[in-house]
Structure 1
Amino acid sequence: MTPTATAPSTEEPAARPRFGLGFAAVCGGMFLANLASGISSVAFPWLATSVTDSALLISGVAMLLELPWLLASLPAGVFIDRTNHRWTLAVTHVFRALVATGVALAVAFGSTPLALIYTVAFLIGSATVVNENTSQVVIPRLVPSSLLERANGYLVMTDTVGGLFIGPWLGGLLLGSSLMLPFVFEGGLFGLAAALMVFVVLAPRNRDRPKRTVRAEMAEGLRYFWNHRQLRTLGLFLGLLNLSSAIAVSTQVLFAQTILGLGAAQFGLLFLAGGVGAMLGAWLTSTLERRLGARRILLISLAGNAATSLAIGVASNAVVVAVAIAGGGMLSTIWNVLTVSYRQRIVPEEMMGRVNSIYRLLAWGPLPLGSVLGGLIVTGSEVLTDREFGLRTPLILAALIATVLTVIGFSKLKDGIWSPDYHAGSEPAGQPGEETSGQPGGEK
């Protein structure tokens, strides 16, 4: 029997999904903006130390940088759902560039009272709330669903590396040359981030919905979020972790000066190691999720958070602290990539801004409270004991909070994203007000 000839196929293989120019612009802008914010995180407290040496007053700077997450998140979510995302990103970048430039001029003229530092910190923090929420909301409009983990890995890496590690290091380096220089760089970086938004092109959204009050739309988002058990749990957990982190970080500049004996440049360099950890976490998330599952990764992140806080709290060596910060950077990046992708998949597009803002309100809203508590804890502890023990106390407390959350996660949370059978990309899409389990069942 003669074999039948098979005609060559004329169909082209399906193109692999890829990132476009718009995503690259948003990611690049987010990196530059977070680099600027990282400079702020060092420069503003250091500027405050030129005015006062009170731990409580210095912690107020960190508190006001983060207070807008508590005050502005809910109305910001409604604003984001109603507005043009591209213009929102551009305008918030430009606003922060102008404010940072104003601070540089004030430093140059020798007029930086604490009230000015507080006011500027609050203004920059307010614009950051709107900008960062919009950056997360816009990603599902720029990349296919199959690339969400990778896309969010890049975004979380730029946030962590730029904002928490390279930015503080660069801020410390610049402070070693001039008190004004960090704010000049900060303004320039925000300006460059705004310029990149020219390359962001978004398809029109369907905004044909009945006009309602801001209060009604906020209530709708709140109902959806609170009725979704997994989102609610993740938000509460992250809020407590960030509360403990803010308690520790608010007086970190004093910890570095008093216990580690670091100068400004060395203080910034201390955090550069964390950038390596964050990059490693972003690259490993997808692989670890496939091999270990989301539940194990989340629990390891909780336990690791406790271990790193404890290690820093008992250490007196800058190298040990740097290694612990690197580990914390890796674990926090992995946690964020998984949970942000989960949120982007299950929340309806028309409600993404509100639900994302509510989640981040719970996650970031405790930061100003934690900053104040950190200052109070150090002030109270050093009165009862000494300054060194007072500066270590917030880190020990942070480790204790993370340990309690780890125990709860192991013993109580076993469904949805916490299920042993859960894998990223298997979330069923929920409707407003409907609680979804997050169990495997196909993406819709």
Structure 2
Amino acid sequence: MEQGGVGVTRVERGRVVERGEVVPLWRNRGFGFFWVAQLLSNAGTQVSELAIPLIAVLTLSAGPTAMGVLTALESLPSLLLVLFLGVLVDRVRRGRMLFWCNVAQALLIASIPFAAAFDVLTLTQLYAVTFLVGGFALAYGLAHTAYVPVLVTDRRQLTAANSSIALTDSITAVGGPGVGGILVQLLTAPVAVAVDSASFLVAAVLQVLGRGSDPAPTTRTRFGLSLREGFAVFRQQRGISAITAGKGTFEFFQWGTIALYILYAVRDLGLSAAEIGAIAVIGSLGPLLAGLITQKVSQKFGITWTSIVGAVLLGGNLLIPLATGPHLAVIAMIGAGQFLLGLGVVYLIIVRSTMLQHAVAPDLLGRVGAVIRLVEWGPGPFGGLAGGLLGTAFGLRPALLILGIGSLSAVPWITTAALRHHLTLLNTP
């Protein structure tokens, strides 16, 4: 059952829904299928995010520089393709685009275990698959954010919908890395990657089964003018711009950390794939908590100062190079840091998504979302390369310490926006 707009009187399962009544989100059939599809594809993705770097380190003997390149390629589409994809999202049926993005990712990821089975897997293939999958994942993410208001037309429930989606990501993040570590340990990393491929195909089928309204695009302006409109609206929304700029500076240091983390965990800390998976499970409880509490916390305390707290929590990466002692202590300390970081990141994402969907017209969501991705993830390739170079020049632990301190760079941006009263949902159409 598609959800109705605010103030609409209609019949809902044999009874009259009065004007102004909020229909429970769980009654929205289209959103329900969408949510389950997210759950499955994200579960597989969590496995691959652990398995692919392990393939590079354990099977292909990748060093710090190679890991930096691999990490940079994952985020490079956000620099090279995001503006084009943002315009494209506003020119096509978004539900259909979600389906084909899932299918494409399934086929690309399936090429890794296929090549491994014939002993022809190379770093070059990992690089190519990582870049292309990153591009389709980016397109999916842009279409996904723009499609949610189509599924959930009652804007009073957008925060709940975004929290539910974040909760989906968090649920899979809790189990995915642990399952991935076990699969890698027992069945090898290429087999674990095959699970991700299958999950994307199932998700694509579910999205077709649950897809309801998929409105035709209304944007017909020229490409250059379309982009200018997206940039203009992004600049006007100062709260959204501040959160995005803060996350963009954080992401530079985050991608540098990602480039070195698996290598540091395996070579310097001597952790196994299962132990690395256990850390990821502990860390993923932070996003899970954010998905559960964001709506209540933002309603009770407001989004202004709680966003500053979220920015401070991004410094959780500092605990990676500071973790010492027995394996159990190291796992607990790094896991705690990732828990705090995940809590802060997902809280800020939910707040910004809700601000975006309240303040920006539906036919502009793809382009404004593309600008957000460009600012936020554009620094990622440079961060990944910088992490690899820092690791080569100074060693893994000192490099991770530098990158961990840099993770706090979002705090000035978000604090300034809070002091200027830019973090608000009052700018609602």
TM-score (norm 1): 0.85
Match of 2:246 among 220, 237, 240: 237
Q: Structure 1 pair 198/148, CA: closer, same or farther in 2 (3 Å)?
A: same
Q: Is the 8 A contact 1:304 1:331 kept in 2?
A: yes
Aligned mates of 2:416, 2:361 — CA distance in 1? 31
Q: Is the 8 A contact 1:160 1:329 kept in 2?
A: no
Match of 2:50 among 37, 42, 67: 42
1:370 corresponds to: 383
Aligned mates of 2:22, 2:413 — CA distance in 1? 41
Worse overlay, 320-329 or 13-22: 13-22
Match of 1:33 among 41, 49, 63: 41
1:294 corresponds to: 303
1:406 corresponds to: 411
1:309 corresponds to: 317
Q: Is the 8 A contact 2:178 2:277 kept in 1?
A: yes
**Residues 164-313 of structure 1: pairs in structure 2 closer than 5 A:** 164-176=173-185, 177-203=187-213, 205=215, 207-208=217-218, 211-306=220-315, 308-313=316-321
1:6 corresponds to: none
Q: Is the 8 A contact 1:302 1:402 kept in 2?
A: no
2:401 corresponds to: 396
Aligned mates of 2:375, 2:127 — CA distance in 1? 23
Say if 2:124 is the partner of 1:119.
Answer: no
2:78 corresponds to: 69
Q: Structure 1 pair 224/411, CA: closer, same or farther in 2 (3 Å)?
A: closer
Aligned mates of 1:218, 1:408 — CA distance in 2? 25
State the 1:74 CA deviation: 0.5
2:341 corresponds to: 328
1:151 corresponds to: 161
Q: Is the 8 A contact 1:106 1:112 kept in 2?
A: yes
State the 1:52 CA deviation: 2.6
Match of 1:91 among 100, 103, 121: 100
Q: Structure 1 pair 404/363, CA: closer, same or farther in 2 (3 Å)?
A: closer
Provide the secondary structure at the position in 2 that maps to 1:312.
helix
Letter in 2 for 1:258: R
1:436 corresponds to: none
Aligned mates of 1:206, 1:416 — CA distance in 2? 37
Aligned mates of 1:208, 1:407 — CA distance in 2? 38
2:12 corresponds to: none
Q: Is the 8 A contact 2:97 2:143 kept in 1?
A: yes
Aligned mates of 1:406, 1:63 — CA distance in 2? 24
Worse overlay, 350-359 or 55-64: 55-64
Aligned mates of 2:218, 2:140 — CA distance in 1? 24
State the 1:413 CA deviation: 4.1
Q: Is the 8 A contact 1:150 1:286 kept in 2?
A: yes
Provide the secondary structure at the position in 1 that maps to 2:76.
helix
Aligned mates of 1:286, 1:347 — CA distance in 2? 20
Provide the secondary structure at the position in 1 that maps to 2:90.
helix
Aligned mates of 2:92, 2:410 — CA distance in 1? 37
Q: Is the 8 A contact 2:259 2:388 kept in 1?
A: yes
Say if 2:370 is the partner of 1:357.
Answer: yes
Q: Is the 8 A contact 1:40 1:171 kept in 2?
A: yes
Q: Structure 1 pair 312/119, CA: closer, same or farther in 2 (3 Å)?
A: same
State the 1:90 CA deviation: 0.6
Give unmatched runs, 5+ long, in structure 2.
1-14, 325-329
Q: Is the 8 A contact 1:297 1:335 kept in 2?
A: no
Give unmatched runs, 5+ long, in structure 1.
1-10, 383-390, 430-443
Worse overlay, 241-250 or 44-53: 44-53
Aligned mates of 1:410, 1:376 — CA distance in 2? 31
Letter in 1 for 2:394: S
State the 1:101 CA deviation: 1.6
1:80 corresponds to: 89
Q: Is the 8 A contact 1:247 1:398 kept in 2?
A: yes
State the 1:376 CA deviation: 0.7
Letter in 2 for 1:55: P
Letter in 2 for 1:400: I
Aligned length in residues: 403
Q: Which has the larger radius of gyration?
A: 1
What is the CA deviation profile of residues 209-263 of structure 1, one whole-angstrom value per residue up to 9, with x for unaligned ones? 5x33323212221222134322222211111111111111111111211343211
